[in-house]
Amino acid sequence: MNNFLDFEKPIADLEGKIRELEGLEDGSDIEIKEDIAKLRQKALHQLEQTYAKLTPWQKTQVARHVDRPKLSDITAQLIEEFTPLAGDRAFADDKAIVGGMGRFRGRSVVVIGTEKGKDTESRLRHNFGMARPEGYRKAQRLMRMADHFSLPILTFIDTSGAYPGIGAEERGQAEAIARSIEVSLDVRVPMIASIVGEGGSGGAVALASANRVLMFANAIYSVISPEGCAAILWKTRDKAQEAATAMKVTAQDLLKLKVIDRIVDEPVGGAQRDVPAAINALGDAIEEELTSLVGKEPGELREERRRKFLAIGRLEEG
């Protein structure tokens, strides 16, 4: 763990000290060994304390952490025989959205997700997880295919939003997102969406209009970025912390609002500290939800999904 967030400084200091002592230690000095053990205990305690009471803005920072689980980590760990499928059959293959088929805990599924990339080269290739219309059209194509072959759809979302560019607008970014939501609400197979890091606006909901929406405990999901909201309503991006709080972007808030269905706990100190453990927990949650959905009638799956969204934010069922 080298990438510390600003509020993690005390933890970073402690871990720095531990590393220093470990460098001194030659295996014989019992006192140093004890010191290291104490410091480890202290660091862990500090980490637990810090992560137990993260503010919405701190969660935003965690959700954007460069070491958060990426789609490539998830497919590698959870999807056997992952077989990526490319292209929208109209214009291009948008690598900000990766999709394909594979086997999730024994069951054949279609996987679709945004990919931010891990290093400069892959970040550029995946356009930092900001999809263009082709990405959403590829997603539509794969959802239709899943429907055709009765395969459950698993989506994974980690994006700051759809890409705001000239070409993207020319080729109908809005229509591509609208249609992606429409197809999501049309398919008659189980669909489970997981918000892994950032769930940024229309670019996220395009893949998250699902039977079940799961969310990592430190992920965020919002209509606009806190900075964007602050710039418009407070007239300065410096008020992003206030905006993050006011907009209710955390998993805990969204569960209360019934916008999401389930929170997936992260390892102490966030998913970025133990990516395999985090992905495993996510896999368990998805498996449970999927098991509860697979027996249902195709028409029922679609109708339930639609009713679920219609019920959000309503005074009463109507």
Q: How far is the CB of 215 from other proteins (least distance, A)?
A: 11
Among 18, 143, 205, 251, binds other proteins (CB under 8 A): 205
Q: Which is nearer to other proteins, 57 or 82 (CB)?
A: 57
Q: Does 92 bind other proteins (CB under 8 A)?
A: no
Among 5, 145, 185, 268, binds other proteins (CB under 8 A): 185
Q: Cβ distance 159 to 198 under 8 Å?
A: yes
Q: Cβ distance 148 to 187 under 8 Å?
A: no
Q: Kindly give the pairing relationship between strand 107-114 and strand 153-159.
A: parallel
- The CA-based angle 152-153-155, given to 5 degrees, is 150
Q: What separation in angstroms does the CA of 139 have from each of 71, 99, 143, 150, 312?
A: 15, 7, 6, 16, 24
Q: Does 76 bind other proteins (CB under 8 A)?
A: no
* Number of residues engaging other proteins in binding (CB under 8 A): 52
- Extract the tokens encoding 115: 């990919």
Q: Does 128 bind other proteins (CB under 8 A)?
A: no
| Helix %, strand %, coil % of the chain (to 5) | 55, 15, 30
Residues 145-164 that bind other proteins (CB under 8 A): 162, 164
Q: Does 174 bind other proteins (CB under 8 A)?
A: yes
Q: Does 232 bind other proteins (CB under 8 A)?
A: yes
Q: Does 247 bind other proteins (CB under 8 A)?
A: yes
> Bridge partners of 98?
113
> Under the rule (CB under 8 A), what is the footprint of other proteins?
162, 164-166, 168-175, 177-179, 181-182, 184-186, 201-202, 205-206, 209, 221-224, 229, 232-235, 239, 242-243, 246-249, 254, 257, 259, 306, 309-310, 312-315, 318
